[in-house]
């Protein structure tokens, strides 16, 4: 067995390099100067085009023995590292060093600032908006280029090692202890952004307090923290920290009248009910407690919010902003991204330009015109996310139009989360039930809305976080479009809706 381990100019074969983690291993090794070949039994992977574009050689449908024998190092993806039959075959062919994901993480250094974005909602949009700002300011920002919702486990730490000048990582969690901390440490996060914390991932008898602990783990790792001042849970996390290491953002004034779907919170210090002067969205707003705890002063602020307009204030800098994506939740996303950019020293003009030119993220308030019918598809999949999108559409909806909601959600908090979502949908005129979980929840909920249960919703189709099948989404969309008039709005919520709606709506057009 060769003892030396030099990446630069080495011929490295990555076994299983067409997979999610394996493809990132291959790209990192390539960025570190290796001549990389991916050897994989798969011939049909979404990562293949990315590997080709980055100059990585491909050996697909087999593990060519001549390629393995010519390697200086063989790297094996985590999904195959315990395949003893494969490892023994490699060892019989060659005595070169066999490395795993652990060696890649250890030997491939991170030499750039790393921003980690976490929270319950808004992570993805904030991450992409911040990346857009940084790219406009001349930075090279590494992309993992994977077709996934959320980023957990090894994905952030691998993305941080890709070539670039600054990394912006979405760091998610399944609600397990040490998950975010491990990702943040392995990614060497220097700046942490926390968007909000609301109830999610609370199935299997998990407590909200445990979920808060999971989300707040990034506080233990990051050198500088960007907090949403309007979230009392997040604001309390700065207590005991050095003030100069914290930046806060928040909303100061909204012009228009709106339903904030007010959600109360207990004081994080004394557990008394917080007194809210103003609710902006759910539990986000201006609050204080008799014990002295109150909303902190903000470094990045939004004033005079009206529809998709607001005034951004950052120190002595001020600018009128027009968002391409409306909603209070998107104002919060813009503030989080602006505050993160400020932490990196990005020029105010570049921040404003980046926010205003940001087009949004696929599956987040994605708009379609289907034969004159207006359809919005949104990834909202927990109560806070559903509140945000319903609040936005009720402000936009005219008094003589209908809001038709297609619910494809199966909440990660189980039946309690599904029931809470069903209660939020009471302001919809028509509810089309697509998923079996939303069907069960609606049977436990009183509503004055017209309810139509898709026949296919009788079947349970939950796979991971996917609540509805293509069949269920298709049937429900057909019902919604048949009931909609030209000035009505059709909203499709949930991961199933995001995954299948685009393709199904194309079929309706045809």
Q: Tokens 């202890």 identify what position?
A: 177
Domain map (residue ranges) of the chain: 11-107, 114-357, 366-509
Phi, psi of 8 (to 5 degrees): -60, 130
392/63 Cα distance (integer angstroms): 53
Q: In the prediction, which pLDDT does 1 show?
A: 37
pLDDT, tens digit, for every residue of 109-152?
A: 999 999 999 999 999 999 999 999 999 999 999 999 998 755 76
Q: Tell me the torsion sign for CA atoms 124, 211, 329, 421.
A: positive
The residues pairing with 313 across neighbouring beta strands, listed in sequence order, are 301, 318
Q: Which two tokens stand for residue 14?
A: 């990555």
| Contact between residue 468 and residue 434 where contact means Cβ atoms under 8 Å apart | yes
Evaluate if pTM is beyond 0.75. Answer: yes
**Of 250, 467, 493, the residue nearest 393 (C-alpha):** 493
Q: Tell me the torsion sign for CA atoms 313, 314, 318, 321.
A: negative
Domain 366-509: what homologous superfamily? Mur ligase, C-terminal domain (3.90.190.20)
Q: Which two tokens stand for residue 77?
A: 């993806």
pLDDT, tens digit, for every residue of 385-435?
A: 999 999 999 988 888 999 999 999 998 888 888 999 999 999 999 999 999
69/96 Cα distance (integer angstroms): 9
pLDDT, tens digit, for every residue of 292-329?
A: 999 999 999 999 999 899 999 999 999 999 999 989 99
117/167 Cα distance (integer angstroms): 11
**3-state SS track over 76-113:** ECCCCCCCHHHHHHHHHHCCCEEECHHHHHHHCCCCCC
CATH topology of domain 114-357: 3.40.1190
Please give the full DSSP string across 20-50, using - where no structure is assigned.
HHHHHHHHHHHHTT-EEEEEES-S--TTHHH
CATH topology of domain 11-107: Rossmann fold (3.40.50)
233/199 Cα distance (integer angstroms): 12
pLDDT, tens digit, for every residue of 158-215?
A: 999 999 999 999 998 777 889 999 999 999 999 999 999 987 655 555 688 888 888 8
Buried b vs exposed e over 444-459: b needs ≥16 C-beta within 10 Å? Answer: ebeeebebbbbebbee
Secondary structure class of 192 (helix, strand, coil): strand
Q: In the prediction, which pLDDT does 177 show?
A: 86
């Amino acid at each position: 067995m060769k003892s030396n381990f030099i990446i630069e100019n080495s011929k490295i074969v990555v076994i299983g390099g067409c997979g999610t983690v394996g493809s990132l291993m291959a790209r990192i090794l390539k960025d570190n100067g290796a001549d990389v070949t991916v050897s994989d039994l798969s011939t049909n992977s979404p990562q293949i085009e990315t590997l080709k574009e980055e100059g990585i050689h491909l050996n697909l449908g087999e593990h060519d023995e001549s390629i393995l024998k010519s390697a200086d190092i063989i790297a094996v993806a985590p999904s195959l590292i315990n395949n003893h039959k494969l490892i023994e075959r490699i060892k019989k062919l060659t005595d070169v060093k066999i490395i795993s994901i652990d060696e890649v993480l250890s030997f491939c250094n991170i030499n750039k600032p790393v921003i980690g974005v976490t929270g319950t909602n808004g992570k993805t949009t904030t991450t992409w908006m911040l990346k857009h700002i940084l790219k406009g300011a001349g930075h090279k920002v590494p992309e993992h280029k994977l077709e996934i919702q959320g980023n957990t486990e090894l994905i952030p730490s691998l993305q941080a090692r890709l070539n670039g000048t600054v990394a912006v990582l979405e760091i998610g969690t399944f609600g397990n202890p040490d998950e975010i901390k491990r990702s943040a440490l392995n990614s060497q996060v220097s700046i942490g952004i926390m968007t909000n914390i609301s109830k999610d991932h609370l199935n299997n008898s998990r407590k909200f307090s445990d979920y808060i602990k999971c989300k707040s783990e990034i506080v233990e790792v990051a050198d500088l923290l960007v907090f949403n001042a309007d979230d009392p849970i997040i604001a309390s996390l700065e207590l005991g920290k050095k003030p100069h290491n914290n930046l806060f953002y928040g909303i100061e004034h909204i012009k228009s009248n709106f339903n904030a779907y007010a959600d109360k919170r207990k004081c994080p210090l004394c557990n008394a009910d917080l007194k809210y002067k103003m609710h902006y969205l759910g539990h986000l707003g201006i609050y204080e407690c008799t014990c002295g705890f109150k909303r902190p002063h903000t470094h990045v602020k939004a004033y005079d919010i009206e529809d998709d307009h607001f005034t951004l204030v950052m120190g002595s800098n001020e600018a009128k902003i027009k968002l391409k994506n409306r909603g209070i939740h998107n104002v919060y996303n813009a503030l989080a991204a602006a505050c993160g950019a400020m932490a990196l020293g990005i020029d105010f003009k570049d921040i404003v330009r980046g926010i205003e030119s940001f087009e949004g993220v696929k599956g987040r308030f994605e708009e379609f015109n289907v034969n004159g019918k207006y359809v919005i598809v949104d990834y909202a999949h927990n109560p806070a996310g559903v509140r945000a999108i319903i609040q936005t559409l009720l402000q936009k909806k005219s008094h003589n139009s209908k809001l038709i909601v297609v619910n494809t959600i199966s909440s990660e908090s189980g039946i309690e989360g599904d029931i809470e979502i069903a209660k939020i949908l009471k302001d919809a005129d028509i509810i089309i039930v697509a998923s079996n979980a939303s069907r069960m929840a609606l049977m436990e909920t009183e509503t004055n809305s017209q309810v139509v249960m898709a026949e296919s919703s009788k079947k349970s189709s939950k796979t991971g976080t996917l609540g509805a099948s293509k069949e269920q989404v298709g049937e429900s969309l057909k019902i919604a479009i048949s009931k909609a008039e030209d000035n009505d709005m059709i909203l499709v919520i949930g991961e199933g809706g995001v995954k299948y709606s685009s393709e199904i709506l194309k079929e309706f057009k045809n």
